[in-house]
Structure 1
Amino acid sequence: MSAIFAISLATAAIAAIVILIAWIRLNPFIVLFVTSIALALVARMPAGKIVASFENGVGHVLGHVGIVIALGTMLGKMLAESGGADCIALKITRIAGRSRVDWAMMLIGLLIGLPVFFEVGFVLLIPLAFVLAERTNTPLLRVALPMGAALSVTHALIPPHPAALLAVGAYHANIGQTILLGIVIGTPIAAIAGPLFGRFVASRVFITKTNPLAQQFVNAEPRTNLPNFYMTVFTILSPVVLMLIGSAADVLAAPQTTANTVLHFVGNTDIALVTATLMSFIVLGQARGFSRETILRFTNESLGPTALIMLLIGAGGGFGRVLIDSGVSKAITDAALGAHMPLLVLAWMLAVIVRVACGSATVAMATASGIVGPILSHASGVSPSLMVLVTGAGSVAFGPMNDAGFWQIKEYLGLTVPQTAKTWCVLETIIAVCGLIFCLIASIFIY
């Protein structure tokens, strides 16, 4: 398959998705499914493998993200109904002031995002964003986008996040230097893509349709007797703490030992979230006077609005899998390798291409670093740490429709497809471009 044909095919598929969803108003799940099949047929993928490829992509994404969304939504519901979200919102408002809640959410996102995947951090913090926006009379985009920007920056640029650790190993970078540079470079990027861009776009893009997911959090009856602030924070941070313990398991206990296995187990994303959710039933449920029947009703109610979100996220994963299995993404990547350019730019460009082709930032970072890593070992004058950062920056570019995050942002914030493109896709591209520019500037002084 030629690169020109592959690029044209991928572009046509994405354009078709936008037109069919935004203009013709077809169901997004059906559009993604049908477009994936059409793309595979045009790419001459064997007909008998097309549906299986799509199903594998759906299953791979939902196998992880579905559990995360379900548990995170239950935890958020308990946070809202107990008054815990109001408690945190009031504290943040008092410390930061109503005019700076977006900066506060950015800082919270940077802290929460360090050990967890984007999807996990997002479902943990989105109830807080809903409540803060409502209680401070601030546009939701101005509160939620800085949070999303911070989570995306930590996902891509700062170890010990798994995606960044993959690149650290591929480039043989010093992890301490990479973390330091990631914080120094990532923080201003988060500020530009988050509060600064958020304030700009919130005054131009307006959410008009009713968001049932937001309503279940902000319509929770306000409570005068709020839960203890520190106990509430401990509950919402407990999965983060458990995941940090899991990531440090090999340092805390010798590999292959029982202690090491236990630490890895409790630090698993799903185990950490279900532990925190069960804790919330006690700390934010029974301790607040809710009966078991009431807690059951809360959790059942919270899952209803997530059904479409899960379907769309799964369909996005299926679309990305078809792009890979049909050979479209490989043809585009091979074309990029044939271009002669500086290693920092090459790593960034490859990550961007894989990101657009398959949707996953983690896959984009792993693929690009795996390709460029051996080249770097024979080159000189390029900092391995900066190679990690620039690859991570490229891995989040465009926030394409075959990324689960696109549909997660769209559905949680109640946006249309064009509005998601104007907000989230632009935000992710700002992170990618600023990351490249900052790394190129830093390369003058660091090598």
Structure 2
Amino acid sequence: MSSVFAISLAAAAIGAVIVLIARLRLNPFIVLFVTSIVMALIAGMPADKVVGSFEAGAGHVLGHVGTVIALGTMLGKMLAESGGADRIAITISNFAGRDRVDWAMMVIGLLVGLPVFFEVGFVLLIPLVFVLAERTKMPLLRVALPMGAALSVTHALIPPHPAALLAVSAYHANVGHTILYGIVIGTPIAIIAGPLFGRFAAARVPLTEVNPLAEQFVNHEPLANLPGFSVTVFTILSPVILMLAGSAADVLSTPHTSLNTVLHFIGNTDIALVFATIMSFYVLGTARGFSKETILRFTNECLGPTALIMLLIGAGGGFGRVLVDSGVSKAITDAALGAHMPLLILAWLLAVIVRVACGSATVSMATASGIVGPILAHSTGVSPELMVLVTGAGSVALGPMNDAGFWQIKEYLGLTVPQTLKTWSVLETLISVFGLVFCLIASVFVH
């Protein structure tokens, strides 16, 4: 398959998805499924392999993200119904002041995002976003986008995220230096893409649609007897603490020992979230006077609005897998490798290409670092730590529609596809472009 044909086919497929969903108002799941099938057939993929490829991609994404969304939504519902989200929102807004709530959410996003995947941090913090926006009468986007930007920055630039650790290994970078450079470079990027862009976007993209998810997380009448701030924060941060323990398991204990195995187990995303969710049933449920029947009703009713989100995330994963299995992604990557350019730019560009081709920032970063790592080993004058950061920056570019985060943002915030492109896709591109620019500037001083 020629590179020109692969690029044209991928562009046509993505363009078709945008037009069919945004203009013709067709069901997004049907559009993603049908477009994936047609694209694979045009690319020459055997017909008996096409559907299996889509199903494998959808199943792989949903196997992780589906569980995370379900558990995170239950935890968020308990926070909302108990008044815990109100307590945190009131405390944050009183401390930061109404006009700086967006900055406060960015800081919270940076802290929570350090050890957790984007999807996990998002479902943990979105109830706070809804409540803060309601209590302060601030536009939802002005509160939500800084949180999303912070989570995306930490996901892309700072270990111990698995993709960043893979890149650290591929480039033989120093983990400590990578974290330090990531914080120094990532913080101004989060400010630009978060509070600054959030205020710009909120003023130009008004949200008029009724948002059922926001309504279920917001108690319109504040509770008189709210749970304590400390116990509420501990509940929401407990999965973060467990995941940190899992990430540091090999430092805290000898590998392959019983303690090491236990730490890795409790640090697993799903285990940490289910622990926090079950704990919330008591701390924010039974201890608050809710009956078992009421808690069951809360956890059942909150899952309904997430059904479409899960379907769309799965379809995005299927779309990305078809791009890879059909050979379209490889042909585009080969074209980028054929163009000789500085390594920082090459790593960034490859990550961008894989990001557009498969949607996943994690896959993008792992793939690009795997390709460029051997080239870096035979080069001099380039900082391995900056290579990790620039690859991470490229891995979040464009916020494409085959990325789970795109549909998560769209559905949770009640956006249309064009609104999501104008807000989330632009935000992700700002992170990517400024990440490249700052890494190029830093390369003058760091070798």
SS of residue matched to 1:222: coil
Secondary structure of 2:302's aligned partner: helix
Structure 1 residue aligned with 2:48: 48
1:400 equivalent in structure 2: 400
Deviation at 1:59, TM superposition (A): 0.3
Structure 2 gaps of 5+ residues are none
Q: 1:18 maps to what in 2?
A: 18
Partner of 1:427: 427
How far apart, in 2, do the equivalents of 1:208 and 1:23 lie? 18
Cα displacement string for residues 260-289 of structure 1 (whole angstroms, at most 9, x for unaligned residues): 111111110000000000000000001100
Separation in 2, partners of 1:12, 1:375:
32
1:60 matched to which residue of 2?
Answer: 60
| 1:356 alignment counterpart | 356
Map Cα deviations across residues 390-437 of structure 1 (whole Å, 9 max, x no partner). 000000000101100000000000000000000000000000000000
Compute the displacement of 1:221 (Å).
4.3
TM-score (norm 1): 0.99
State the match for 1:411 in structure 2.
411
Alpha-carbon distance between aligned partners in 2 of 1:161 and 1:12, rounded to the nearest angstrom: 33
Moved more, 248-257 or 300-309: 248-257
Question: Is contact 1:81–1:221 with CA below 8 Å preserved after alignment?
Answer: no
Alignment-mate amino acid for residue 181 of structure 2: L
Deviations 1:348-370 (A, max 9, x none): 00000000000000111001101
Aligned residue number for residue 212 of structure 2:
212
Q: 1:9 corresponds to which residue? A: 9
Please give the secondary structure, in 2, of the residue aligned with 1:67: helix
TM-superposed CA distance for 1:219, in Å, is 3.5
Which residue of structure 1 lines up, in the alignment, with residue 151 of structure 2?
Answer: 151
Gaps of 5+ in 1: none
Q: What CA distance in whole angstroms lies between the structure 1 residues aligned with 2:218 and 2:14? A: 34
Q: Amino acid of the residue matched to residue 252 of structure 1?
A: L
Match for residue 374 of structure 2?
374
RMSD: 0.6
Distance 2:33 2:75 in 1: 31
AA matched with 1:278: I
**What CA distance in whole angstroms lies between the structure 2 residues aligned with 1:241 and 1:442?**
32
Is 1:271 the counterpart of 2:271? The answer is: yes
CA contact (8 A) 1:81 1:220 kept: no
- Aligned-partner SS, 1:203: helix
- Which secondary structure does the structure 2 equivalent of 1:323 belong to? helix
Equivalent residues in 2 for 1:121-132 (5 A)? 121-132=121-132
Q: CA offsets per residue over residues 155-196 of structure 1, 9 Å max, x none?
A: 000111211111111000111111110000000000000000
Q: Distance in 2 between matches of 1:346 and 1:418?
A: 30
The residue aligned with 1:310 is 310
Q: Is the 8 A contact 1:10 1:357 kept in 2?
A: yes
Residue in 1 that maps onto 2:334: 334
CA distance in 2, matches of 1:318, 1:208: 31
SS in 1 for 2:58: helix
The residue number in structure 2 matching 1:29 is 29
Partner amino acid, structure 2, of 1:39: M
Checking the alignment, whether the CA contact within 8 Å between 1:157 and 1:186 is kept in structure 2 is yes
Alignment partners' CA distance in 2, 1:218 and 1:153 = 27
State the Cα distance separating 1:253 from its structure 2 match. 1.4
- Residues 215-230 of structure 1 mapped to structure 2, 5 A cutoff: 215-219=215-219, 221-230=221-230
Q: Amino acid of the residue matched to residue 263 of structure 1?
A: L
Question: What percentage of residue pairs aligned between the two structures are identical?
Answer: 82
| More divergent stretch after superposition (156-165 vs 182-191) | 156-165
Query: 2: CA distance between counterparts of 1:54 and 1:222?
Result: 45
User: Which amino acid in 2 is paired with 1:131?
Assistant: V
Answer whether contact 1:80 1:220 (CA < 8 A) is retained.
no
Q: Which amino acid is 1:165 matched to?
A: L
Superposed displacement of residue 207, structure 1? 1.1
Query: In terms of mean alpha carbon deviation, does 252-261 or 180-189 score higher?
Result: 252-261
Q: Which letter maps to 2:286?
A: Q
Q: Which amino acid in the other structure matches residue 150 of structure 1?
A: A
Q: How many residues align?
A: 447
Shift of 1:251: 1.1
Q: Distance in 2 between matches of 1:198 and 1:112?
A: 19
Q: CA contact under 8 A between 1:36 and 1:54: conserved in structure 2?
A: yes
Q: Which amino acid aligns with 1:403?
A: D
